[in-house]
């Protein structure tokens, strides 16, 4: 657990700072700032639009009487992607857009489902039916 927190709170911000400084030295601080603001605004708008789509699909699933598991995973990924998009930085923007953009989000969902299946088969995750 500790190595992941170390990565999250020290290494990733250091990479972001390096990328911001590198890009800023090439195109200038003003343009770098504008890119960060633009990706944040555009990303938040796009995440919101995708979120509305997921809400419609979730409501449809409920009306049809089926479990909206896929829609719930989409919602969680959109929430994470939106949070990353409003966080200043190029690396977080890339990951955030990949979580918000449906084709890459679907690829993440397939990998997540495979990971969950392996964890259940290995007994790391136990599913109980009541």
What is the per-residue pLDDT across 31-83, written as a single tens digit (0 to 9) for each? Answer: 999 999 999 999 999 999 999 999 999 999 999 999 999 999 999 999 999 99
Torsion-angle region of residue 28: left (phi > 0), alpha (psi -120 to 50) or beta? left
State the Cα–Cα distance between residues 103 and 86, nearest whole angstrom. 21
Q: Domain coordinates of the chain in residue numbers?
A: 37-121
Query: What CA–CA distance (Å, rounded) separates 124 from 114?
Result: 14
pTM score, two decimals? 0.84
């Amino acid at each position: 657990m500790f190595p992941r927190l170390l990565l999250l709170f020290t290494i990733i911000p250091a990479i972001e700072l390096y990328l911001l400084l590198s890009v800023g030295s090439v195109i200038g601080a003003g343009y770098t700032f504008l890119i960060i603001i633009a990706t944040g605004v555009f990303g938040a708008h796009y995440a919101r639009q995708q979120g509305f789509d997921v809400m419609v699909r979730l409501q449809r699933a409920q009306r049809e009487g089926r479990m909206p598991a896929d829609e719930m995973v989409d919602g969680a990924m959109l929430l994470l992607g939106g949070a990353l998009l409003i966080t200043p930085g190029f690396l977080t923007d890339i990951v955030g857009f990949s979580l918000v953009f449906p084709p890459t989000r679907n690829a993440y969902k397939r990998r997540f489902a495979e990971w969950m299946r392996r964890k259940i088969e290995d007994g790391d995750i136990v599913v109980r039916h009541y």
